[in-house]
């Protein structure tokens, strides 16, 4: 060593996100400090300015963690046989590389069951105050990566929607976690359609998955209950958004957009306001409200049957609009179709075929595909049944 100053270590910007606390100082190409170690990336504008540089640097003396993260990403890249251009997908600057490295296995129903079980354990730990704040980032990052895998391409996304929608449409069992996962998956599918940024998309998905963390057991009880909610149950319902924020904070969640979206997910928002004109938190909360109402309306309860897919679509499109069409509801129906995968269509002959996938057709953007087998509402479908296009 000759005592000369070592060059800073370059880092990609793609994995920087809003709310991230930096474990090292970020420098520009000239060596000037952009953000000091321990500072947070506070908002979308700050994140955009960093990403516009395409590359930032870490001081050599602070680079041990950076090198470790980069090497872990390279090892994962090699294990998967991916191209070097995809390195940024496997580099996690917030220390969450390990959860992302484990792919889901098995059939799509098995994968959905695995993710649902993992989500239930996570939400239960938060509800009971048993999740250490130091464990929270990795657990939530794993959930994000699981959902990314479930919707990795259109055909897989359709199958995931089919599995989750079928599950919640045939029985109220395990309603709380299946509802949360179904809404989170739909949120991930809608995020690019609604032109949400990366940070907003992530906050939306995780807020949707955790919005009812303060009433998990109550949700499951109400799904099986024939009587109206008692005064005590009604009080818990009314308080669950604020209580959920408290539980998430106690579990180490400090993303202000995520927390504010959870707080507002049942709040009366100004009607008739375009999504782009709302504040970021109100924008996410409005999407959550539409998804919550749409999916809940199709789910049966012990006290009532689920509504038809067509009625649920109408509810989403006219959600609190005073008769005008809601852009989130329209985007949802445009993406899923009037009869989303996993729902049933009653034919004139009295049979109940179930929709298998969404297929684009000329002049009408979406039409469902349905199984030619007769499907009872309470019978498990065969995953290999032939498909035929609905004609009218």
We report the CATH number of the domain holding residue 218 as 1.10.3210.10
Same-domain pairing of 127 and 81:
no
Same-domain pairing of 77 and 125:
no
Same-domain pairing of 205 and 93:
no
Confidence of residue 325 (pLDDT cuts 50, 70, 90): confident
Residue 27: domain span: 9-98
Check the CA dihedral 128-254-61-9 and report its sign: positive
Residue 90 in domain: yes
- Counting the structural domains of the chain, the total is 2
146-383-365 Cα angle (round to 5): 75
Cα separation, 254 vs 63, whole angstroms: 25
| Contact yes or no for 317/335 (Cβ under 8 A) | no
Residue 307 in domain: yes
Residue 97 has pLDDT above 60, yes or no: no
Cα separation, 343 vs 277, whole angstroms: 34
Same-domain pairing of 68 and 127:
no
| Contact yes or no for 142/92 (Cβ under 8 A) | no
Residue 2 in domain: no
Cα separation, 34 vs 38, whole angstroms: 12
Report percent pLDDT > 70 for the chain: 76
Name residues whose C-beta falls within 8 Å of residue 359's C-beta, 6 or more positions apart in sequence: 366, 367, 368, 369, 389
Same-domain pairing of 43 and 146:
no
Residue 80 in domain: yes
Residue 353 in domain: no
Same-domain pairing of 201 and 119:
yes
Q: What is the pLDDT of residue 105?
A: 85
Tokens read off for 376: 């009872």
Tokens read off for 120: 């239930």
Same-domain pairing of 181 and 215:
yes
DSSP symbols for 93-124: TTS-HHHHTS---S-HHHHHHHHHHHHHHHHH
Cα separation, 273 vs 283, whole angstroms: 10
Cα separation, 375 vs 377, whole angstroms: 6
Tokens read off for 28: 């520009």
Cα separation, 285 vs 268, whole angstroms: 10
pLDDT, mean of residues 71-94 = 58
Tokens read off for 111: 């994968």
pLDDT in tens, 34-43: 888 878 888 8
Residue 218 in domain: yes
Same-domain pairing of 114 and 153:
yes
pLDDT in tens, 364-373: 444 444 443 3
Same-domain pairing of 127 and 61:
no
Q: What is the pLDDT of residue 324?
A: 73
Q: Which residue has the tokens 């008739």?
A: 272
DSSP symbols for 237-260: HHHHHHHHHHHHHHTT---HHHHH
Same-domain pairing of 79 and 178:
no
Residue 383 in domain: no
Q: What is the pLDDT of residue 47?
A: 84
Same-domain pairing of 89 and 158:
no
Same-domain pairing of 154 and 258:
yes
pLDDT in tens, 276-300: 999 999 999 999 999 999 999 888 8
Q: Which of 120-129, 296-305, 375-384 has the highest mean pLDDT?
A: 120-129
């Amino acid at each position: 060593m000759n005592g000369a100053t070592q060059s800073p270590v370059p880092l990609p910007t793609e994995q920087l996100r809003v709310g991230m606390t930096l474990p090292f100082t970020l420098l520009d190409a000239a060596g000037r400090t952009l953000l000091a170690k321990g500072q947070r990336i506070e908002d979308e504008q700050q994140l955009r300015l960093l990403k516009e540089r395409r590359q930032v640097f870490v001081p050599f003396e602070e680079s041990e963690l950076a090198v470790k993260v980069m090497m872990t990403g390279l090892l994962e890249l090699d294990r998967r046989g991916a191209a070097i251009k995809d390195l940024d997908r496997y580099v996690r600057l917030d220390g969450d590389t390990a959860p992302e490295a484990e792919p889901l296995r098995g059939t799509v129903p098995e994968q959905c069951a695995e993710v649902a079980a993992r989500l239930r354990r996570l939400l239960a730990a938060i509800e009971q105050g048993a999740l250490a704040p130091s464990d929270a980032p990795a657990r939530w990052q794993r959930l994000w990566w699981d959902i990314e895998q479930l919707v990795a391409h259109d055909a897989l996304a359709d199958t995931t929607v089919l599995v989750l929608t079928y599950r919640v449409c045939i029985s109220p069992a395990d309603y709380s976690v299946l509802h949360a996962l179904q809404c989170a998956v739909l949120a991930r599918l809608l995020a690019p359609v609604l032109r949400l940024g990366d940070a907003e998309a992530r906050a939306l998905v995780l807020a949707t998955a955790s919005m009812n963390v303060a009433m998990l057991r109550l949700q499951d009880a109400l799904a099986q209950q024939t009587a109206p909610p008692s005064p005590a149950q009604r009080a818990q319902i009314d308080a669950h958004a604020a209580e959920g924020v408290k539980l998430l904070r106690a579990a180490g969640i400090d993303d202000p957009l995520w927390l504010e979206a959870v707080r507002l997910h049942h709040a009366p928002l100004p009607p008739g306001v375009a999504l782009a004109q709302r504040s970021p938190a109100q924008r996410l909360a409005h999407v959550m409200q539409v998804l919550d109402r749409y999916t809940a309306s199709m789910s049966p309860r012990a006290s009532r049957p689920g509504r038809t897919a067509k009625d649920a679509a109408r509810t989403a499109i006219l959600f609190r609009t005073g008769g005008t069409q809601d852009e989130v509801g329209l985007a949802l129906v445009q993406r899923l179709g009037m009869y989303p995968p996993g729902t049933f269509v009653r034919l004139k002959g009295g049979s109940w075929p179930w929709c298998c996938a969404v297929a684009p057709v000329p002049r009408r953007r979406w039409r469902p595909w349905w199984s030619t087998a007769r499907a009872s509402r309470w019978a498990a479908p065969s995953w290999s049944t032939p498909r035929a296009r609905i004609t009218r």
